[in-house]
Amino acid sequence: METGVIKQMTQAILEVRNLHKHYPGVNAVNGIDFAVRPGICFGLLGPNGAGKTTTIEMLEGIIKPTSGEIRYKGELQGARFRQEAGIQFQSTALQDFLTVRENLKFFSSLYPHSLPLDELVAICRLEDYLDRDASKLSGGQRQRMLLALALVNDPDVVFLDEPTTGLDPQARLNFWELVNNIKARHKTVLLTTHYMEEAYNLCDEIVIMDHGKIIAHGSPDTLLATHFQDVIIELPERDFPEAAKIIPHRYLDKVTGTVEIITQDVNATLGLLIQHGASLAGLQVRPRTLEDLFLALTGKELRA
C-alpha cells in the first residue's frame, strides 16, 4: 500500500471497509468502502431502498454488519465510539411533561462527561424556551433541542439523520447555520438528507448510494464538474413558439408550462431562440445542480 494512502487512512475519523449487510433475499449493503476525514460534513445520499439508512445505522452502531469493518480513529468501532459519538435521530422519544432544561439535564446525567448546560443552550439557541414543555415546541424548536441532546456528551462525530424534514424554509436555513457552527468547533458531521440543496450547502463530501453500492463519491462541485459540461435554459411554454421546437427540448413542468433546453453553448442556443421567434423575457439560465446529478445517477422513477 502506498504511503499516501496509509496517511489518508490514519487521518480518517471513520473508515468503512468492504461493508455488507444481508437480510433474507436482500443485499441491503453490498461491499462499500469510504473514509471520513475529521472536521468535515459528510453526506450520505440515496433514493429509498438504496441502502443508505442501513449504512448509517451500522455506522451509528445500531445494527451489526454481516461482514466488513467499521473503524473509529483507527480502532474497531466499540466503547470509545459510543462515548464520543452523538446522534440526532429522525424521531426521539422524550419523557412526557419535561421542559427543555429538564431534558438536557436528564440526558447529560447519562454520560461521564458532558458539555455545560449554558454552552449547549448557546450553541443551539435554546434561551427563549428553556422552561417550556418539550411537547409544546414548534418543529424547528424541537429539532434544535434534539440537536442539543446529540451534542450533550461533547461528541467528536455527530450523526444527523434527515434533521430538517418537515421544517419550513426559515427553520431549515436556521438549522443549516447551527450545523456550520458545529463544524467550526472542529466536529465531524455525518448527514443524511433528501434535500439536495441542503447537501450542497452543508457537505464537504458526499456519497451517493443505489442498490446497496456507492455510485458516486466526492465533493459536490467536483462531482458536478465531472458529470456535466452543460447548462440548462428554462423558459415559459408561451414564449416557445412552434418554429423553435426544432431545438431539442423537453417539458419540465406541464402544469406551469416550463420548457427546458440543455446546452453546452448558451450563446448559440439563445441565437437560435431569437431566430425562431422565442421571447427571452421569462428565460432563465442555470448551472447543473446536485439534484440534476442525483436524478441522472439514480433515475426519476418513484421508489416505494
Taking only the tens place, the pLDDT of each residue in 32-83 is 999 999 999 999 999 988 999 999 999 999 999 999 999 999 999 999 999 9
Taking residues 137-154, report their average pLDDT.
92
Distances in whole angstroms, Cα of residue 173 to Cα of each of 76, 137, 169, 180: 36, 18, 6, 11
For the cut 50, the answer to whether the pLDDT of residue 101 exceeds it is yes
**Cell numbers standing for residue 12:** 480518517
Listed in order, the ranges of the chain carrying CATH 3.40.50.300 are 38-62+83-225
What is the rounded distance in angstroms from the CA atom of residue 110 to the CA atom of residue 87? 14
| pLDDT at res. 94 | 75
| Least confident residue range of 32-36, 187-191, 254-258, 263-267 | 254-258
Listed in order, the ranges of the chain carrying CATH 3.30.70.120 are 229-287
**pLDDT tens, residue by residue, 181-224:** 999 999 999 999 999 999 999 999 999 999 999 999 999 999 99
The CATH superfamily holding the domain 38-62+83-225 is P-loop containing nucleotide triphosphate hydrolases (3.40.50.300)
Distances in whole angstroms, Cα of residue 214 to Cα of each of 55, 62, 125, 176: 11, 21, 36, 25
| pLDDT at res. 91 | 73
What percentage of the chain carries pLDDT values higher than 70? 94
**Beta pairing class for 188-192 and 41-45:** parallel
For the cut 90, the answer to whether the pLDDT of residue 173 exceeds it is yes
Average pLDDT, rounded, for the chain: 91
| pLDDT at res. 7 | 44
Burial degree of 126 (CB within 10 A; 0-12, 13-18, 19+): buried
For the cut 50, the answer to whether the pLDDT of residue 130 exceeds it is yes
Taking residues 277-292, report their average pLDDT.
95
| pLDDT at res. 152 | 95
What percentage of the chain carries pLDDT values higher than 90? 81
| pLDDT at res. 3 | 45
**pLDDT tens, residue by residue, 225-253:** 999 999 999 999 999 999 999 999 998 76
Taking residues 119-128, report their average pLDDT.
92
**Beta pairing class for 258-263 and 231-236:** antiparallel
For the cut 60, the answer to whether the pLDDT of residue 8 exceeds it is no
For the cut 50, the answer to whether the pLDDT of residue 179 exceeds it is yes
3-state SS string for the chain: CCHHHHHHHHHCCEEEEEEEEEECCEEEEEEEEEEECCCCEEEEECCCCCCHHHHHHHHCCCCCCCEEEEEECCEECCHHHHHHEEEECCCCCCCCCCEHHHHHHHHHCCCCCCCCHHHHHHHHCCHHHCCCEHHHCCHHHHHHHHHHHHHCCCCCEEEEECCCCCCCHHHHHHHHHHHHHHHHCCCEEEEECCCHHHHHHHCCEEEEEECCEEEEEECHHHHHHHHCCCEEEEEEHHHCCHHHHHCCCEEEECCCCEEEEEECCHHHHHHHHHHCCCCCCCCEEEECCHHHHHHHHHCCCCCC
| pLDDT at res. 190 | 97
| pLDDT at res. 23 | 93
| pLDDT at res. 19 | 97
| pLDDT at res. 113 | 87
Taking residues 8-32, report their average pLDDT.
88
Taking residues 6-27, report their average pLDDT.
83
The four Cα atoms 164, 61, 38, 31 give a dihedral, to 10 degrees, of -100
Confidence of residue 304 (pLDDT cuts 50, 70, 90): low
Confidence of residue 5 (pLDDT cuts 50, 70, 90): very low
Class at the top of the CATH hierarchy for domain 229-287: alpha beta
